[in-house]
A and B are shown apart, each in its own frame.
Chain A
Amino acid sequence: DQQVKQNSPSLSVQEGRISILNCDYTNSMFDYFLWYKKYPAEGPTFLISISSIKDKNEDGRFTVFLNKSAKHLSLHIVPSQPGDSAVYFCAASAGGTSYGKLTFGQGTILTVHP
């Protein structure tokens, strides 16, 4: 049972345009969501997060949107740069017996073309 899903395995975008990465979740107990960027053979790098009490959080070129009713979040990167090319993972955490555990999606490969 995959509780966090990234349905697009890959996304290709032109430099300077907007990249939109999507993530869906099924567990209504999730209350904190994060996006990570990962290069091959390296650990994930934290990008941005959002609490379930918010619907938007911005940090520079990165904005995360949360739609709790649809159980959907998205990461917008504007403008996209070639250095953004990497695998992007969304992750979610919940309290209770799942506290401390991040549940990850399968990842989306973003390629930004010059």
Chain B
Amino acid sequence: EAGVTQSPTHLIKTRGQQATLRCSPISGHTSVYWYQQALGLGLQFLLWYDEGEERNRGNFPPRFSGRQFPNYSSELNVNALELEDSALYLCASSSQGTDTQYFGPGTRLTVL
């Protein structure tokens, strides 16, 4: 069974640009979660999508947004990139009604 997949693996952008990160959940999973792991910091919850709707949001500014598609894959968009947005962005998925989240390999975003 394929795990959570994310693309791209690495992404380099400059300040002020927009970044789009993609995630495909494990087959049969309907929930997708996004986390940020910045250097020296732990994993911080960003967003949770379930059945196409945003269900919960972490303490991040509105320029962090996303969506979930009918096939349950998800995009994370970061607008007006700032240097401190440089981080590993992790996507996780879970099946309906369960609390265990399974993580993908992450996208390393570097903002220059």
Contact = CB atoms under 8 A, between A and B. Distances in A.
Instruction: Sort chain B's interface into a size bin.
Output: 20 to 34
A100 B50 contact: yes
A83 interface: no
A42 B55 CA distance: 26
Contacts of B42: 89, 104-107
Contact of A102 (B4, B50, B88, B101): B101
A89 B103 CA distance: 13
Contacts, number: 59
With a 10 A CB-CB cut-off, give which of B43, B100, B105 has the most chain A CB atoms.
B43
Classify the interface of chain B: helix, strand, loop or mixed.
Answer: strand
B101 A43 contact: no
Interface stretch (A44-52, A58-66, A71-79): A44-52
A106 B38 CA distance: 12
Interface string B31-63: 101010000001101001010000110100000
Given A34-B100, A43-B90, A46-B100, A103 B45 contact: yes
Interface in A18-43: 32, 34, 36, 41-43
B64 interface: no
Nearest to A104: B43
B29 interface: no
A93 interface: yes
Contacts of A41: 88, 106, 108
Contacts of A89: 42-43
Interface of B: 4, 6, 31, 33, 35, 42-43, 45, 48, 50, 55-56, 58, 88, 90, 92, 99-106, 108
Interface of A: 32, 34, 36, 41-46, 49, 89, 91, 93, 97-107
Given A102-B33, A104-B43, 13 more contacts: A32-B99, A34-B99, A46-B102, A46-B103, A49-B99, A89-B42, A100-B31, A100-B50, A100-B55, A101-B33, A101-B48, A102-B45, A103-B45
